[in-house]
């Protein structure tokens, strides 16, 4: 088993990575908008906010981002001082279960982004409606969100190793 200091550093690095991935995902998703040709003289402007699945994806990103920022602050204090803000088994249990919830939220947000983008791209291209780089941007945002989920899931596993062993 790794030393407590190594575990704290690994948790801190994963928190920073999750934070950065969510920030990138947020920026890419919120800047996803394009105008596409749908007829000879008709154009449609699509913004991510027009599609419900992308709104859910945005909500997952924002909630995950806020949680990640809060936990990053706690993790920084734990790394510097060596003491947890919530001492005892309660703090580890809270971290373990909150990581589970957040990782599921991030996973479902990424899945929603991937799924609706695939369906929309197939539908629009079947009708000869092309929307430039809109799909690629949303795919990139969903990919960053998926990687943030992976980091959160690894954090959950790390916290499971710290859970108290009860006989």
- Report pLDDT for 75: 81
The Cα 124–Cα 48 span in angstroms is 15
| Token pair of 165 as six digits | 């062993």
Strands (E), the chain: 33-37, 43-47
**Overall size of the chain counted in residues:** 167
Averaged over 10-16, what is the pLDDT? Answer: 90
Q: Is the pLDDT of residue 2 over 60?
A: no
Q: For the segment 104-161, what is each residue's pLDDT rounded down to a tens digit?
A: 999 999 999 999 988 888 887 776 677 767 888 999 999 999 999 999 999 988 888 8
Q: What is the 3-state secondary structure (H, E, C) of 87-153?
A: CCHHHHHHHHHHHHHHHHHHHHHHHHHHHHHHHHHHHHHHCCCECCCHHHHHHHHHHHHHHHHHHHH
Q: Is the pLDDT of residue 162 over 90?
A: no
Q: For the segment 73-104, what is each residue's pLDDT rounded down to a tens digit?
A: 888 887 787 666 565 666 778 888 899 999 99
Q: What global pTM score does this model have?
A: 0.86
- Report pLDDT for 152: 94
Residues 102 and 130 sit within 8 Å (Cβ to Cβ): no
* Residue 128 CB coordination number (10 Å): 9
- Report pLDDT for 167: 38
| 18, 23, 34, 125: CA torsion to nearest 10 | 0
| Token pair of 154 as six digits | 């690894």
The more confidently predicted of residues 127 and 52 is 52
Task: Calculate ∠ Cα 26-29-34, nearest 5°.
Answer: 155
- When mean pLDDT is compared across 47-51, 61-65, 86-90, 152-156, the lowest value belongs to 86-90
Please give the CATH number for the structural domain made up of 4-162.
1.20.140
The Cα 119–Cα 88 span in angstroms is 48
The more confidently predicted of residues 1 and 74 is 74
The Cα 15–Cα 155 span in angstroms is 8
CA 79 to chain centre: 23
Residue 45 backbone phi and psi in degrees, to 5: -100, 125
């Amino acid at each position: 088993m790794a030393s407590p200091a190594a575990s704290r550093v690994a948790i801190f690095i994963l928190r920073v990575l999750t934070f950065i991935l969510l920030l990138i995902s947020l920026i890419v998703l919120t800047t996803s908008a394009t105008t596409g040709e749908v007829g000879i003289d008709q154009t449609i402007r699509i913004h991510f906010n027009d599609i419900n699945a992308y709104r859910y994806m945005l909500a997952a990103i924002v909630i995950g981002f806020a949680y990640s920022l809060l936990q990053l602050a706690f993790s920084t204090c734990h790394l510097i001082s060596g003491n947890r803000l919530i001492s005892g088994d309660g703090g580890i249990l809270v971290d373990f279960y909150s990581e589970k919830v957040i990782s599921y939220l991030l996973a479902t947000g990424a899945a929603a982004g991937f799924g609706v983008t695939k369906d929309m791209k197939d539908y629009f291209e079947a009708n000869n409606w092309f929307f430039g780089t809109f799909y690629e941007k949303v795919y990139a945002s969903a990919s960053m969100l998926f990687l943030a989920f992976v980091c959160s899931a690894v954090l959950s596993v790390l916290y499971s190793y710290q859970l108290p062993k009860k006989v």
